[in-house]
Amino acid sequence: MNGEHKITSGHRARTALVYLRQSTLVQVREHTESTMRQYALADVAVSLGWAPRDVEVIDRDLGLSGTSAAHRQGFRDLMSRVCLGEVGAVLGLEVSRLARSNADLARLAEMARLTGTLLIDSDGVYDLSDFNDWLVLGLKSTMSQAELHIMAGRLQAAKLAAAERGELRAPLPVGLVYDDGGMVVTDPDAEVRAAVADVFACFAAAGSAYGVVAAFAGRKFPQRAYGGAWAGQLRWGPLTHHRVLQVLKNPAYAGAYVHGRHVTRKAIDAAGNVRTVTAEVPRAQWKVLIKDHHPGYVTWEEYLAVEARLAANWTASGARTVREGSALCQGIIYCGSCGGPMVANYQGGDRANYECHSRRDGKKAPGCRGIATAALDGAVARVLLDALTPEQVALALAAADEVTGQHQRAGRAAELALERARYDADRAERAFSQVEPENRLVARTLEARWEAKLAALAEAEQALESARAALPPLPDRASLAAIAADLPALWHAPTTTPRDRKRLLRTLIADVTLLPEPDRAKARIGIRWHAGTADQLIIDRPRPSGIPAVTPSPAADLIRRLGPTAGNDDLVAILARHGHLTGAGRPFDVKAVQWVRRVYGIPVPSPVAAGEVSVKDAARQLGCSPGVVYYWIETGQLETRRSSGNRLCIPWTPDTEAECRARIAASGHLNPAARRTRPRKTPRCPAEQPQMSAPTGNI
């Protein structure tokens, strides 16, 4: 071997490491000859004078690329042992097997120079303390990295050329497969097609990826396995949010062939390791985009609408999406004092309050206020529905006609430019076709002119397509009129969900602001419309639930005047006949009348008629407790009736009073004088004699 004289006894006294590496597992499985040659380097080390016990093989990096040492544990172990001075020589089939990176190989060479470690490959022995060996090894390292660059450039150029023709085959998402002719078609499995189509249908209905996940609860979604033992097989599992986004963002489902959607970049993490990260590329930077390349599940316009909807749902970019809950202005209401957003704080059920978010952050301004959602949402909804008057609808329809005309004019200009470019290209083609092939001087000039006209035609087509994509489609006039006429009924329909009302609201109203208002009993609301105009309105704040509303004076005066002589039921009927309402705006009931009596001290009419007394009055006249009277009533010894107020009334006559006093006089419990203080002399009757039990045994 070239340079064998550089090996000394000092090198042989240390360990010889044989480093094995192949870039991929496919190479390990199929290129077995290269693997066998690398393992044979252990015999080469023995032939160079190392004892077999001093030769170690490091093969942990088989199947790993040598572009970086971050993921190669075997190379890191080799570097550690070289730095410790334990290694006399490192053997590899060639230098590029050690590392494809100049930085990694230069670090190994520097450590080998400092520790006196030799590097050995099939070309010879390198002593890094020798300048010539160091120079040759550096050139080999540079050539190895250049070889990688050249091979990668060739492969990428070939892939791009095939992709530009739409012929570069790549793994297809579930729902799309290659047929026998290599063409992309929809999956022949009807269940798979239905599952993919339902994802787009559920997103159109729910408007969010999480809504699709909820719609697929308890339902499986297909997934095609690529690589490994399950390669090509169809597996079913739960649909996750990440999978929904993958389906919705994939242009292949729109029938488009795309190459260059993602790019890989090198990045350094916190630990200092070089990592390869994958990032998405904006659509304008895609290298290849071929529309209508194969059958899809949605059109390209629908795909763009889905993409815009997902971007509008991304709250990290400042979007205020429609969320769950009954708060109508959620996401579009702001505080007029600090300028921050206001959030809906739910208190159970549909009751909620709008609160300034600055209160949570501790940055509340003196003018920051909150308000009940029911009060503000009701006012905003009334303004929205009131704006849809016949006059306003007519103005909106006129504006729609004007916008439609602008769209047509903008599109017409691009269409005329395309027509001119197509005419010029056809004319240049005819001129080129008429020239004699032998006249190459003229043919070359006409060919160049034709190519220039074709390039201009492609630019005109692209300009027309961009103009059409930039102008969103408008509904026809009849649809706008029907929607405007039926909007109030649609708004109040029980089938309309809060989410639907929020979407309807946001089609006309851009945002709502709770403006500062000195009067704490009032609230000032600012409404900004999408048309650019703004309105303000002032509403009454709802009273706190713990403070009752003040009864209007006419109703209170009527109750004060008729209360001493009229019952509560009669007052309720009288107040209803006069059209009086409570302070909360509700009709009077018995409880409301009772509350007014209590507040104003209005006595109730006596329920006792002439010749009757109450239980309390009877007990006072008899000199006993009311409980005695209630006992007589319960046992039927005293007749009573119940009044309209459910109170007991006792018909009271001298005979009734005499009977009651006689009961009291004869009662030993009520009259102590009637109690017996000596035992009875007369024997008890046999039924009252105590019975003695017969003896059961001898005494």
User: DSSP secondary structure string, 425-487?
Assistant: HHHHHHHHHHS-TT-HHHHHHHHHHHHHHHHHHHHHHHHHHHHHHHS-----HHHHHHHHHHH
Indicate the SS3 state at residue 275: strand
Check residues 470 and 465 and name the one with the higher pLDDT: 465
Residues 443 and 571 in one domain: no
The dihedral region occupied by 318, where left means phi > 0, alpha psi between -120 and 50, and beta the remainder, is left
The answer to the question of residue 684 being in a domain is no
Residue 174 corresponds to which amino acid? V
Residues 305 and 360 in one domain: no
Q: Which residues of 191-227 are buried (b: 16+ CB within 10 A; e: fewer)?
A: ebbebbebbbebbeeebbbebbbebbeeeebbbbeee
Q: Which pairing describes strands 641-642 and 234-238: parallel, antiparallel, or unpaired?
A: unpaired
CATH of the domain at 91: 3.40.50.1390
Residue 567 corresponds to which amino acid? G
d(CA 4, CA 443): 67
User: Pick from 161, 191, 219: which residue ends a domain?
Assistant: 161
Q: Which residues of 512-538 are buried (b: 16+ CB within 10 A; e: fewer)?
A: bbbbebeeeeebbbebbeeeeeeeeee
30 φ, ψ to 5°?
Answer: -105, -35
552-591 pLDDT per residue, tens: 778 888 888 888 878 788 888 888 888 888 877 788 888 8
Lowest model confidence (mean pLDDT) among 419-423, 474-478, 556-560: 474-478
Given a contact cutoff of 8 angstroms between Cβ atoms, the answer to whether 256 and 249 are in contact is no
Radius of gyration of the chain (CA): 48
Residues 94 and 218 in one domain: no
Task: Give catalytic residues, as residue numbers.
Answer: 23
Choose among 523, 502, 519: nearest CA to 511: 502
Indicate the pLDDT class of residue 244, thresholds 50, 70 and 90: very high
Residues 466 and 593 in one domain: no
- Cβ-in-10-Å burial (0-12, 13-18, 19+) of 65 comes to middle
Residues 578 and 652 in one domain: no
Contacts of 676 (CB under 8 A, 6+ apart): 668
d(CA 188, CA 176): 9
Whether 156 shows a pLDDT value over 70: the answer reads yes
Lowest model confidence (mean pLDDT) among 205-219, 250-264, 464-478: 464-478
Residues 311 and 453 in one domain: no
Choose among 23, 25, 29, 27: nearest CA to 67: 23
The answer to the question of residue 682 being in a domain is no
Q: What is the pLDDT of residue 97?
A: 66
Residue corresponding to tokens 């239980």: 615
Q: What is the pLDDT of residue 304?
A: 92
Given a contact cutoff of 8 angstroms between Cβ atoms, the answer to whether 340 and 357 are in contact is yes
Q: What is the pLDDT of residue 94?
A: 79
Percent of the chain with pLDDT strictly greater than 70:
83
Contacts of 98 (CB under 8 A, 6+ apart): 19, 21, 66, 75, 90, 92, 104, 105, 108, 119
Indicate the pLDDT class of residue 691, thresholds 50, 70 and 90: very low
d(CA 267, CA 559): 83
Q: What is the pLDDT of residue 685?
A: 43
Whether 359 shows a pLDDT value over 70: the answer reads no
Check residues 74 and 99 and name the one with the higher pLDDT: 74
Residues 309 and 406 in one domain: no
The answer to the question of residue 688 being in a domain is no
Mean pLDDT of 272-289: 83
Around 538, how many Cα atoms within 13 Å sit in the side-chain half-sphere?
A: 7
Tokens describing residue 641: 């009736």
The answer to the question of residue 699 being in a domain is no
Indicate the pLDDT class of residue 699, thresholds 50, 70 and 90: very low
User: Pick from 133, 161, 189: which residue ends a domain?
Assistant: 161
Check residues 462 and 230 and name the one with the higher pLDDT: 462
Going from the C-alpha of 31 to that of each of 62, 87, 121, the distances in angstroms are 12, 29, 19
86-100 pLDDT per residue, tens: 999 999 887 766 776
Whether 367 shows a pLDDT value over 60: the answer reads yes
Residues 240 and 364 in one domain: no
Tokens describing residue 46: 């023995």
Cα 94 from chain centroid (whole Å): 53
Is the dihedral angle over the CA atoms 168, 173, 176, 181 positive or is it negative?
Answer: positive
Mean pLDDT of 13-31: 85
Residues 421 and 340 in one domain: yes
Check residues 419 and 179 and name the one with the higher pLDDT: 179
Q: What is the pLDDT of residue 432?
A: 79
The answer to the question of residue 687 being in a domain is no
Check residues 74 and 439 and name the one with the higher pLDDT: 74
The answer to the question of residue 139 being in a domain is yes
Number of residues that make up the chain: 699
Mean pLDDT of 154-164: 89
Q: What is the pLDDT of residue 198?
A: 92
Q: What is the pLDDT of residue 149?
A: 83
Mean pLDDT of 399-407: 61
Q: Name the residue range of residue 305's domain.
A: 176-256+291-317
Lowest model confidence (mean pLDDT) among 232-246, 284-298, 615-629, 658-672: 658-672
Residues 481 and 532 in one domain: yes
Q: What is the pLDDT of residue 259?
A: 92
The dihedral region occupied by 219, where left means phi > 0, alpha psi between -120 and 50, and beta the remainder, is beta
Q: What is the pLDDT of residue 108?
A: 86
Q: What is the pLDDT of residue 658?
A: 87
User: Pick from 282, 317, 352: which residue ends a domain?
Assistant: 317
Residues 334 and 312 in one domain: no
The answer to the question of residue 271 being in a domain is no
Whether 692 shows a pLDDT value over 60: the answer reads no
The answer to the question of residue 685 being in a domain is no
Q: What is the pLDDT of residue 695?
A: 42
Q: Residue 358: which H helix or E strand, with range?
A: helix 357-361
Kindly give the residue spans of alpha helices, DSSP state H, lying in 179-240: 190-206, 209-215
Tokens describing residue 333: 């209401």
pTM: 0.53
**Overall domain count for the chain:** 5
* Mean pLDDT score across all residues of the chain: 81
Indicate the pLDDT class of residue 251, thresholds 50, 70 and 90: very high
Indicate the SS3 state at residue 274: strand
Residues 366 and 474 in one domain: yes
CATH of the domain at 302: 3.90.1750.20
